Chains A and B, each alone.
Chain A
Amino acid sequence: MVVTPPAGGVELSAVSPNWVTTRLDFLSNWARSNSLWPMPFGTACCAIEFMATAASRFDLARFGMERMSYSPRQADVLICAGRLPFKLAPVIRRIWDQMPQPKWSISMGACASTGGIFDNYAMVQGIDTIIPVDVYVPGCPPRPEGLVYGIMLLQKKIKGESFTDPDLRQEHLLDDVGMFLPPERVDELSEPFGNSIHQTRSG
């Protein structure tokens, strides 16, 4: 269809829908939240549910996430799906450090969020002691609906971000090793809970 300008000249807005006004915050947050490329970090059964979420029945593509970013350089959101042993802690930290800003992370499932049933010598008690976490998805493992809800919460969080927030995406490392939580906070987060309080540290 050809739009013919009326004779005598007219405001551009009257003839062309090809431009809009918007807030920069709104525009960038809208773009970012609807094209989150996930960096899958699947270590356990949560990864099976994550794969189900990405497949056709639940279809992550509806959220602009169908492109799994197996390179951290092109990733936006790190999804830790499963338990994280201490042996893998420096690996996920390296991947997180390799992801460019802006970046977010989702802790999927009980083990990634708290250590879950693995309250033992080999397991990180919550990946929030290793990397910053934006959304925690509970469940063992969470159903795909749960992960999708977590992703929608993350989109909601991204839409509330502002350029003018000076503290946004600031990571304050406490020492040269790269701890970003003080030791007493890590110990507090790793306190036994549930059935494992009956097991003492002395064995």
Chain B
Amino acid sequence: MTGVSPSVGALTAEFGSAILRTVVSCGDSIVYVMRERAHDVLAWLKNTPGQEFDYLTDITAVDYRDPERPLEVVYQLRSLGRKADLRVKIALDGSAPLDVDSVYDLWKGADWLEREVYDMFGVTFVGHPDLRRILMWETYGEGYPLRKDFPLRGHFSRAEQVRQALAANPEAQYSLEELSLAQAMHDLPADMTERLRRGERGLVP
């Protein structure tokens, strides 16, 4: 597949100035959109006949270590019926908070993808139902590991990392929401359900 995706022209005609620029890289069409209109653009791409990007392949982010553009959030879309791909990017402004509208209402699969981007890059997805860390543990206090200003070995000393790891409660890794999804609450011992109701998590003293 080479050349510009036909969706790019349709997007420009529909949204005009909300489409900042378009790039073709290695045969893939990339569309940069305004942060404020990104949710409208993605909803239009999903729901419009002829576009039908019904599958959200991935959400990720890129840190360019550039004060002008600190982060780009990347949406990789796929239309299963049309066998077509499109990449949508949101360039975030360094001066503003890293907020993006959640697309969980469009693709349910965005749930864990957005949590991962939040966990690794610190991008807040407004409207996400359960925005928590997913790879690192909930009490992780060193920041967002995939940012370029994050030191490879972490901010804390190794001894402090070991101490915090040992202080974590291995039984407090699951939220009440996940447990009730699994219908496991009634099978748990009474003391554990009580601790979960109180909202107990791992502790960092």
Residues of chain A having any CB pair with chain B under 8 Å? 86-87, 89-91, 93-94, 119-122, 124-125, 129-130, 177-179, 183-184, 186-187, 189-190, 192, 199-203
Contact = CB atoms under 8 A, between A and B. Distances in A.
B161 A203 contact: no
14 contacts: A89-B165, A120-B153, A120-B154, A125-B158, A177-B163, A177-B167, A178-B167, A179-B159, A179-B163, A184-B159, A186-B158, A186-B162, A199-B153, A203-B151
A89 B151 contact: no
Contacts, number: 81
A121 B142 contact: yes
Grouping DSSP codes into helix (H, G, I), strand (E, B) and loop, the A interface class, with mixed when no group exceeds half, is loop
Given A86-B165, A87-B137, A186 B159 contact: yes
A121 B153 contact: yes
B158 A121 contact: no
B153 A89 contact: no
Interface residues of B, number: 26
Given A90-B168, A90-B169, A90-B170, A203 B163 contact: no
A144 to B, nearest CB: 31
Interface string B130-157: 0000001100001001001111111001
Contacts of B159: 179, 183-184, 186-187, 190
Given A183-B157, A183-B160, A202 B165 contact: no
Contacts of B157: 183, 187
B162 A89 contact: yes
Tell me the interface secondary structure of chain B in the complex: loop
B170 A121 contact: no
Nearest to A125: B158
A123 to B, nearest CB: 9
Given A183-B160, A190-B158, A119 B166 contact: no
Contacts of A121: 142, 145, 150-154, 161
Contact of A124 (B149, B162, B169): B162
Minimum-distance CB pairs A-B, first 6: A183-B159, A121-B154, A190-B158, A203-B151, A89-B165, A186-B159
